[in-house]
Structure 1
Amino acid sequence: MDILDKYELKEWWNTALTPAQREQISRDYQPMGYPSGERYLYAKLVGKSYGDTGKCCLLDVLACVAKDDAKGIISDKTEQAVKEALSQPKRNYIDIHLALAGLIKYHYRLRNDQAHYEKAKEFCLLQISISSKLVKKFRHPEKPKELKRLHKLTGMTHPYYDEPQILPSHTGYKQLAIILEKEGDLDGALELSQKALEQGWSDDYEKRIAKLVTKIAKRK
């Protein structure tokens, strides 16, 4: 069983993409630490751990690697996977969050097409709607079982797992605030930026808030 089998993507992979597209993606997709020249997508899984990411994130990365029409095909599949993941009682929010960031960037790059512009906003709102569920997960990453056992035996600690971490950038908050500001909704952009700052996401929200407050005051 390879990773495509693991996430039940093999049939889709073989029917939705052409042989040339599959060749390009499998050749260019080389995760860090994997031997150069080997096709990771087709490698047999032997007790491998994939951490906090899953099917949604895998598809998002494949979309980034893909070229031309294949990028859109895989992005559509990523969107489908995200919606399926959100419908499940047990959800991998980190996997969903990361895939949504990729979808936002993909559609916003094509924003001259109104359909893509609206999709970008839709996915910003969706990512924002689950943001509160990600704060604890990013601040306090779950320690791998093997490391837990080692630290219990040795009394050692790890700065990444045993100390609160700084939250990363949040694509949905940042991009939607930019969109609203460009559309003239300064109050909406300000409210979003304040909420992002309150939750603790990175991105110099203090400067953005100060700029928006000044623009609102000038408008009045």
Structure 2
Amino acid sequence: MGIFDALFGKGKIGGEIAYYNLEDWWIGDFTDAERKYILKQYQPMGLSDNDIISGQILESSASVVQFLSGLASWFNKDEDRYLAKLICQKAESLLYDDTKVLDIHFLYQTKIMVYYRDRDKSDCLDIAITACQQQINVAKQAIKAFKKKFEDGLPGHKGFEQLAIILEKKKNFVEAIALCKKALEQGWAGDWDKRIQRCHRKIGNF
């Protein structure tokens, strides 16, 4: 069986889809046209069309959650963001107690970016807020993992940043200040002091 057969749900599927045991999801959750589109669009450096469904992978340092998070990030245009949502949902369904915290951290980062882009659509803003809170909930564990893996200081934190923006837009300045102080205390990179000062000024204008 060739690539054409694997693409349209016939014959043996290989690549990352097979390695991570995602064949049923790949065939069952996407149409033929969607699978073809995903294969065409997803081309990280070094990969070509169909690589995620062809060949045999014997070992990978990436978890299934990490793979799906990366895959979802390729579909954040207005016309294909629904695919990113489906991929994020699958990744989230595969979170377990032993999932690496940085994989969880980056999955929620992707989820925030995907859903916040559609914030004017039904439920998407609420889902983005939930994703911010989910990422914040694992922040302390993520700090330990970042410090163990990287010598430099902590990076920015999408959950803290995006939720601070949302709270400020909602004029919930006291909550925004408390959130920024928490991010600052934990050591995440960002303009937290400026945000705190701006919110204090806005409180004074009310």
Q: TM-score, normalised by structure 2?
A: 0.82
Matched, 1:15 2:2: no
Give 2:201's aligned residue. Answer: 214
Matches within 5 A, 1:59-98: 59-66=68-75, 71-85=81-95, 88-98=96-106
CA contact (8 A) 2:69 2:91 kept: no
Gaps of 5+ in 2: 1-13
Q: Which residue identity is paired with 1:30? A: Q
Give 2:133's aligned residue. Answer: 125
Give 1:56's aligned residue. Answer: 65
Q: Which residue identity is paired with 1:58? A: F
- Alpha-carbon shift at residue 209 of structure 1 (Å): 1.6
Across the aligned residues of Structure 1 and Structure 2, the Cα RMSD in angstroms comes to 2.2
Q: Equivalents in 1 of 2:56, 2:192: separation in Å?
A: 42
Matched, 1:28 2:41: yes
Judging changes above 3 Å, is the alpha-carbon distance between structure 1 residues 176 and 128 closer, same or farther for their aligned structure 2 residues?
same
Q: TM-score, normalised by structure 1?
A: 0.77
Gaps of 5+ in 1: 142-160
CA contact (8 A) 1:60 1:75 kept: no
* Of 46, 51, 66, the match for 1:40: 51
Quick check: 12-21 or 125-134, which moved more? Answer: 12-21
Judging changes above 3 Å, is the alpha-carbon distance between structure 1 residues 69 and 138 closer, same or farther for their aligned structure 2 residues?
same
CA contact (8 A) 1:196 1:205 kept: yes
Q: Secondary structure at the match of 1:65?
A: coil
Q: Equivalents in 1 of 2:69, 2:35: separation in Å?
A: 15
Higher helix share: 1
Judging changes above 3 Å, is the alpha-carbon distance between structure 1 residues 133 and 45 closer, same or farther for their aligned structure 2 residues?
farther
